[in-house]
Each structure stands twice: as C-alpha cells, then as structure tokens.
Amino acid sequence: MAIVNLTEADFESTVMDSGIVFVDFWATWCGPCRQFAPIFEKVSENNEDLVFAKVDTDANQGLAGALEIQSIPTLMAFRDGIMVFRQAGVLPAAALEDLVSQVKALDMDDVRRQIAEQNKES
C-alpha cells in the first residue's frame, strides 16, 4: 500500500478503522524529516498489510497542536484505535522494522486491560 497523506479531516477515521497505522508527522523544511522519509517509505513497502501515513504539520497545524507535536519528525503507532507508540526523532530502518514487529505482536486485550487499570487510578 502506498503511503497515505492524512489531514485533520481523515486522521481520526483512518486511525480508528484501519487496524495498525504508523503516522509520520513531518514538514517540508525539516532536515531530519527528509532523512526519515525514505526509511519510512521502504518499511511501508515491506509491510503492505499495514497503513503508513504522513501528516504535514504545517498544513495541519490544528491536528499537530491537538496531538501536542512539539518536535518533528514524530512517529506514532496505533493499533485498534489506541496509540501504542510515540517518539520524536529519526528511527533507523532496523529499529522501525522491529517496532512494526512489536506492534503486530501486541496482546491488545492486555493493552486495553492496562489502560482500564490506569483510568481507575486517575
């Protein structure tokens, strides 16, 4: 699957309805973003069963603000509508491939249980 460009209009529906989604928050002027782009693209080609998406933070400032993006590139991973990973900075290809494997292997029942326990404590 080709990399999808997300906007404020389709971000939530994509994350909620697409199973596993990796989102790269970037901007055209950002050197590290340009460095990460080919890595992100290559890993997406190796995982066509997943959604790989990009959000241009300049064009989607409201979304970037709502998600508290303070540094780019920022990578987020969602599974079943739940954010399971967030990190700013460039990931090497091997680390991104490993992250993909880890997200695929998650026990989502356990993740939901942990979230429910945290919510009880708050």
Taking the domains of the chain in order of start, what are their residue ranges?
4-121
Rg (CA), the chain: 14
pTM > 0.85: yes or no: yes
Told to judge if 30 belongs to the known catalytic residues of this protein, a careful annotator would answer yes
Residues 20-79 pLDDT 10s = 999 999 999 999 999 999 999 999 999 999 999 999 999 999 999 999 999 999 999 999
User: Would you tell me which CATH number, out of the four given (3.40.30.10, 3.30.1370.60, 3.50.50.60, 3.40.630.10), belongs to the domain 4-121?
Assistant: 3.40.30.10
Is 66 a known active-site residue?
A: no
Active-site residue, selected from the candidate residues 33, 51, 72, 91: 33
Q: Which of 30, 93, 103, 106 is catalytic?
A: 30
Cis peptide before 32 (omega within 30 of 0): no
Phi, psi of 53 (to 5 degrees): -135, 160
Q: How confident is the model at residue 121 (pLDDT cuts 50, 70, 90)?
A: confident
Question: Residue 120: its pLDDT value, please?
Answer: 87
85 DSSP β-pair partners: 77
Mapping DSSP onto H, E and C, the string for 46-79 reads CCCCCEEEEEECCCCHHHHHHCCCCCCCEEEEEE
